[in-house]
Chain A
Amino acid sequence: MQPEERQSVVDVALASGVAIPGETAARTKVLGRLRLGDAVFRHLTRAAAIAVLLLLTGVIISLIEGSLPAFRKFGFEFLISERWNPVTEIFGALPAIYGTVITSLIAMLIAVPVGLMIAYFLTELCPQWLRRPIGIAIELLAGIPSIIYGIWGLFMFAPFLQATLQPFLIDSLGHVPLIAPLFSGPPYGIGILTAGLILAIMVLPFVTSISRDVFEAVPAVLKEAAYGVGCTTWEVMRYVVLPYARIGVIGGVMLALGRALGETMAVTFVIGNAHRISASLLAPGTTISASIANEFTEATSDLYTSALIALGLILFVITFIVLAAARYMLLRIERRIG
């Protein structure tokens, strides 16, 4: 029913009703006020919804606007240049992009298999009474602010790696042909590998909780049928649950990847902030977010600031693509369930 129509119905009802004239007028007034309140509230909520859209638009526009000077100066060269020199004002984003991608890659290589195995444990093997506590503990791990990971990584994890894992890697894998360059150089403690490992610990809960949710959404009938023909628990997981939940798992993994790419504080503490691309994973490097966090307040010239905002824009575009793909995949599996 259109609003005008509705109003006329109300008016007819009032007019034809047996009512004292003064009361009818009062009622019409109240009704009018309610109608106005309704319209105001409706438009208010609509405006808020549109404000969310404008927020993202604003982010994109402001980043593009801020990065224009850098892109105008360096052009496409900005994306592929390895040089980052604030003194001579020559900026290239490649080391930061490289660091961002490599640290996230290390994180996913560790977090995805471990997270899937935890989800396997939680959905298929864990006794019922233990599921909730472990699930909550994993989610608490997700709730710890990233700066805590950062300070812990700087004071505890990096010295620990410097004393144990890194010398071990240098001694063992450092002599294996082909991969030797990856593990060459002194053990600094901080560096690309350390940052990747901390990121792995950070995104592990995301991978776990999303995989657990999609595993739980697999219809019990499918699993029961597989058990019925004599599959082992692992075979049910490997040949029934995993293929069924595939899209959801990939979506969850991409969501975690989006987090890892944009993570700032945990990385900034342990990456070493060196704008260069080293073959060795043990060497210090930088990521986009770490560069911005470390240098933004020190950026004295407009071009320097603009170059850092341009880095932010690149990061935003990368994460936007990853997150959009993740959401699309999770949406597909939601539709299948719902």
Chain B
Amino acid sequence: MPDTVALSRYAGRRRRNAVATALSFAATAFGLGWLVLILGVLLWEGFGGLSVAVFTQMTPPPGSNGGLLNPIFGSLILTAIAVLIGTPIGILAGTYMAEYGRHDRLTSVVRFINDILLSAPSIVIGLFIYQVMVAPLGHFSGWAGGVALAVIVIPVVVRTTEDMLVLVPNALREAATSIGLPRSMAITHICYRAARAGMVTGVLLAVARISGETAPLLFTSLNNQFWSTDLNGPMSSLPVVIFQFALSPYKDWQALAWTGALIITLAVLALSITARSLTSSGKRS
């Protein structure tokens, strides 16, 4: 009875397909479930602590009320330093790779090294900056924290700049050259303008990446209980404060840690959504 054999084999294949489909549904629900769970808990725990005081008062000693003003300010300063140092270097390096040396050996080596840097453990970056900046100078400093974050910004910006410039059509470069623009002006006035949305996205993604980075700051900018604008001294930052407060035994510190975590997450999500909408609108035009 060959027909029944064929039919039962067919039924078996159908069954296996159904099992795989069910498993893939379950896997997707599992993956999305974590997102919902983490964001849900974060909103639940963090939202209650959100108040004006969080943005106007300093971090408190245990047992009293306070806010997160100095770590928020510190994080903004450190991020600004990182972007100011990292973006120009990243954009210039990406420019070389896409415009001048698209096919040279240097470019392929830099691309490989850059990809390694992109995924290198951030705590190792912290150790590196400790070795070259903190240990020789003998003190922790905001500068060191900013530079450590810049080291994380650079590979992100290099990558997106190169990718975006490569997408710029050659006809634009030829047109620019044909009206007598020197190469450097063709790049800065024509290619950069054409690739602008993508390059800005790269910077935004880099900011999103560093705004939650804790490991490289632990022993570069350290932490500061007080308001400080001195970049040569230890500087407070949100992630490090969250780390310290969450591991403390004090309930009000832990509550502030949740609030800080909520602020960081909202900032990161806002940045990545902005970046995403920038690229999608850039693609459309």
Please give the residue numbers on chain A whose beta carbons come within 8 Å of chain B beta carbons, in ascending order: 34-35, 37-38, 40-42, 44-53, 55-56, 58-59, 62-63, 65-66, 113-115, 117-118, 120-122, 125-126, 134, 136-141, 143-152, 154-156, 201, 204-205, 208, 232-235, 237-238, 255, 258-259, 261-265, 268-269, 289, 292-293, 296-297, 308-309, 312, 315-316, 319-320, 323-324, 327
Contact = CB atoms under 8 A, between A and B. Distances in A.
Main secondary structure of the interface of A (DSSP, over half): helix
A143 B16 contact: no
Given A49-B93, A262-B123, 20 more contacts: A35-B182, A45-B93, A48-B88, A49-B107, A62-B128, A63-B127, A117-B28, A140-B269, A141-B35, A143-B208, A143-B272, A145-B214, A145-B268, A155-B246, A205-B31, A232-B17, A259-B119, A264-B123, A296-B218, A316-B120
15 contacts: A38-B182, A38-B184, A48-B93, A50-B110, A52-B89, A52-B155, A59-B124, A121-B25, A144-B269, A148-B42, A155-B246, A156-B41, A264-B121, A289-B215, A297-B222
A156 B37 CA distance: 10
Contacts of B116: 56, 320, 323-324, 327
B221 to A, nearest CB: 12
A233 B41 contact: no
Contact of B119 (A118, A147, A258): A258
B215 A237 contact: no
A309 to B, nearest CB: 6
A324 B257 CA distance: 37
B125 A117 contact: no
A59 B81 CA distance: 20
Interface stretch (B51-59, B66-74, B168-176, B258-266): B258-266
Interface string B210-224: 011111001100100
Interface stretch (B96-104, B195-203, B225-233): B96-104
Contacts of A258: 119
A268 B243 CA distance: 10
Contacts of B222: 297
B153 to A, nearest CB: 12
Interface in B121-152: 121-125, 127-128, 130-132, 151
A34 B182 contact: yes
Nearest to A255: B119
A63 B128 CA distance: 7
Interface centre among A149, A152, A308, A324 (most CB of B within 10 A): A152
B267 to A, nearest CB: 10
A52 B116 CA distance: 11
B76 to A, nearest CB: 16
B218 A293 contact: yes
Q: Which among B14, B90, B243 has the highest number of chain A CB atoms within 10 Å?
A: B243
Contacts of B25: 121, 125
Main secondary structure of the interface of B (DSSP, over half): helix
B38 A152 contact: yes
Interface string B173-192: 00000000011110110000
B82 interface: no
Contact of A120 (B20, B109, B127, B264): B20
A121 B24 contact: yes
B276 to A, nearest CB: 7
A141 B100 contact: no
B214 A146 contact: yes
B24 A118 contact: yes
A319 B38 contact: no
Contact of A147 (B16, B127, B254, B261): B261
A213 B201 CA distance: 20
A152 B215 contact: no
Contacts of A117: 23-24, 26-28
B158 interface: yes
Interface string B5-28: 000000001101100110111111
Contacts of B247: 154, 269
Contact of B213 (A49, A145, A308): A145
B115 A327 contact: yes
B184 A42 contact: yes
